[in-house]
Amino acid sequence: MQDVLLAARRQLKSVFGYDDFRPGQAEVIAAVLEGKPVLAVMPTGSGKSMCYQLPALVDGGLTLVVSPLIALMRDQVQQLRSLGVEAGSLNSSNDDEESDRVWQALDDQSLRLLFLSPERLAMDGLRQRLARAGVKRIAIDEAHCVSEWGHDFRPEYRQIRQAVEAIGSVQVIGFTATADRNTRNDIVERLFDAPPSVFLHSFDRPNIDLCFAAKEQPRRQIAAFLNGRRGQSGIIYCVSRDRTERMADWLNENGYEAVAYHAGMDRDLRARNQDRFLQEDGVIVAATVAFGMGINKPDVRFVVHADMPASVESYYQEIGRAGRDGLQSWTLTLYGVEDMALRRRQIDEKSIDDERRRIEHTRFSRLTMLCESATCRRQALLACFDEPSTPCGQCDICRGEVALYDGTVDAQKALSAVYRTGQRFGAAYVSDVLMGVASEAIARNRHDQIKTFGVGSDKTKTAWTAILRQLFAADALASASEEYGGFRLTPRGEAILLGRETIALRKDAARPPKPPRTKGAQAAAVEGLDADDAAMFAALRAARLAIARDEGVAAYVVFADRTLLELARQRPMSLREMAAIHGIGAAKLERYGEAFLEVLLNTG
């Protein structure tokens, strides 16, 4: 196997221009090359696609890639072909020339990667043709879409198993960025006919800065966040179609390059807006969540949620579209009571069974706790995926931008109320007990007789609910029942209640501070460059954009920002020196080397 990984490393450098694997890639690629069924749960931006692209080059044969979106297929095919890899897709956006090329490459067995939607894969005629083409493996991207437990269930994914059986004995490998235990079990049951090797990698994205703020004046808050970010690419998520268009108009009025994107737009306009975002530098897209799955633009520098996301899983997936190149990126999430009420109403109005409704409410509750957390955002986020971590030092709370106070006494009142009411009630009931609300239920349970009844009458129900959620987020409270919810004390909660431990809480949970302003750099990627290197970076970007427009591809298909940054800093003076730069493989060196070398030698 070491020989196979050595061959993979050689291809990694010669084709992709990378010196070594990213963390976690080598073990997944080794398992794939051994022919094992594989399920890999890897964070966004960790290089999942390399885990099926590289094996296709190392051992030959045809790899089918099941992908949910045409945009993703087109993006990956463009990138692979720019690297000299024979790849193609079959979808409704192909012209006749492209479809003929793909069919010819499929027939003469020169095709290495073929991208298909699950709907296209379900077509009987295509299955028969693929069976004759010598398919070696099927890679299923966004594999969580097969599970009703997942946050992006797509019924079409349920047909993949039948397609695998129809094509013949082929290796199945699945990839996703977000899958809890229930979702993973469902994926295994529905996609694999034998237990796969399961790889669970860290969900941490340390290059993404996390910031939350309660809505005050959303436009002003977003304007403050965007200050100094002109020239950067970013996504602003809005809850409705109308809001995306109004947000894009407002951004354009304020001097930003912005487009809107939502499922209700004219299809051609939606495609043009998406292409502009993908192909140009510094464009902001204001979008609903219809935008994003499979978007592989590596230089998205920020993601803003102008409205509260639907769940922790959705939030993680959406912020994961920032910083895929590994460079520092930023997020801002705005939330409010109206958002929470809307999201809960949307869950209640869905045509789903009671069990799935309960699960979705639980997932949304975890997000509200993340918004109101008084501890490190990254710690709280990773805890949602059962991953322990230490304080990150770079979120809004770790930077001291959220005011905290010694909340031990308030916590003791809340914990005492939870304990004295039997450790089985939820936030609304416990808050009423603390406030001294003489409800029928409280009277019936005789909880108006306990010592903590009314001890928190100085606070509102919203404040006590926020404190209880903070205690839950801090692991002082846990769910009393998986089925019915409610709170129970944890060992940490008992320690706080008995005075053995103190706890800091947010000073005003309903109104956290405004997000911080950034430095005055024109782009986050330029921070840390001196003036000469920043000028060189800008010249290289201009050259890249000209080439991309001439070839009709996204700018990052030519070179990613990270490659341009290394070129600007290291200033290679020959093609030989340029070959050592990250992201410059043999095909790109031959295709673009001279043009960029000319910029390096003649700028400044």
Q: Model confidence at 278, in pLDDT bands (50, 70, 90)?
A: confident
pLDDT of 510 over the 50 cut? no
540-555 mean pLDDT: 90
Residue 563 has pLDDT above 90, yes or no: yes
Q: How far is CA 219 from the centre of its chain?
A: 24
Is there a single domain that holds both residue 533 and residue 496? no
Query: Is the pLDDT reported for residue 519 higher than 60?
Result: no
Return the structure tokens found at 450.
Answer: 């306990």
| Residue type present at position 90 | L
Please tell me whether residues 369 and 241 are part of one structural domain.
yes
Helices (H), 155-265: 160-167, 181-191, 218-226, 241-253
Q: Does the residue 127 lie in any domain?
A: yes
The model's pLDDT over 348-380, given as tens digits with 9 standing for 90+, comes to: 888 888 887 887 888 888 888 888 888 899 999
* Angle (CA) 599 600 604, round 5°: 90
Type of residue numbered 218: P
* Residue 456 and residue 360 share a domain: no
Q: Are 173 and 288 in contact (CB under 8 A)?
A: no
Q: What is the spatial distance between Cα 264 and Cα 266, in angstroms, rounded to a whole number?
A: 7
Q: Is 523 within a domain?
A: no
Distance CA 231, CA 283 (A): 7
Cβ atoms 114, 63 nearer than 8 A: yes
Pair 287, 432 in one domain: no
Are both 159 and 260 inside the same structural domain?
no
CATH assignment of the domain containing 428? 1.10.10.10
Q: Quote the CA–CA distance of 273 and 258 in Å, as a whole number.
A: 9
CATH number at residue 154: 3.40.50.300
Out of 323, 348, 383, a domain closes at 383
pLDDT score of 375: 84
Residue 389 belongs to a domain: no
Distances (CA, A) of 90 to 97, 98, 166: 12, 9, 19
Q: Is residue 364 part of a domain?
A: yes
Question: Which DSSP state fits 190?
Answer: H
Cα distance between residue 588 and residue 122, in whole Å: 36
Same structural domain for residues 125 and 154?
yes
Cα–Cα distance measured from residue 184 to residue 200, given in angstroms and rounded to the nearest whole number: 10
Q: Which two tokens stand for residue 146?
A: 């097969």
CA distances from 49 to 187, 349, 490 (A): 18, 36, 41
> Alpha carbon of 492 to those of 17, 188, 387, 497, 501: distances in Å?
49, 36, 18, 9, 8
The string of pLDDT tens digits covering residues 122-175 is: 887 888 888 888 899 999 998 988 987 766 778 888 889 888 888 887 999 999
Q: Which of 498, 360, 372 is nearest to 427 (CA)?
A: 372
Q: Which residue has the higher pLDDT, 4 or 63?
A: 63
**Are both 273 and 177 inside the same structural domain?**
no
Q: Domain tally for the chain?
A: 4
Token look-up 């609910």 returns 465
Judged against a pLDDT cut of 70, whether residue 524 lies above it is answered with no
Q: Residues 187, 146: contact at Cβ < 8 Å?
A: yes
Domain shared by 568 and 444, yes or no? no
Q: How confident is the model at residue 94 (pLDDT cuts 50, 70, 90)?
A: confident
Question: pLDDT tens digit string along 204-263?
Answer: 999 999 999 888 889 999 999 998 888 899 999 999 999 999 999 999 999 999 999 998
Residue 356, both tokens: 């799935």
Q: In this predicted structure, what is the pLDDT of residue 483?
A: 58
Taking CA atoms, 184 is separated from 164, 231, 353, 511, in Å, by 19, 39, 20, 37
| Inside any domain, residue 482 | yes
**Domain residues for 552?**
528-602
How many C-beta neighbours within 10 Å does residue 92 have?
A: 7
Residue 426 lies in a domain: yes
The pLDDT assigned to 511 comes to: 41
**How distant is the alpha carbon of residue 93 from its chain centre?**
26
Backbone phi, psi, residue 300, to 5°: -70, 120
Examine the domain organization and report whether 123 and 196 are in the same domain.
yes
Shared-domain flag, residues 232 and 105: no
Statement to judge: residues 18 and 147 lie in one domain: yes
Say whether both 47 and 108 belong to one domain: yes
In a domain, residue 260? The reply is yes
Residue 394 falls within a domain, yes or no? no
In the chain, pLDDT over 90 holds for what percent of residues? 50
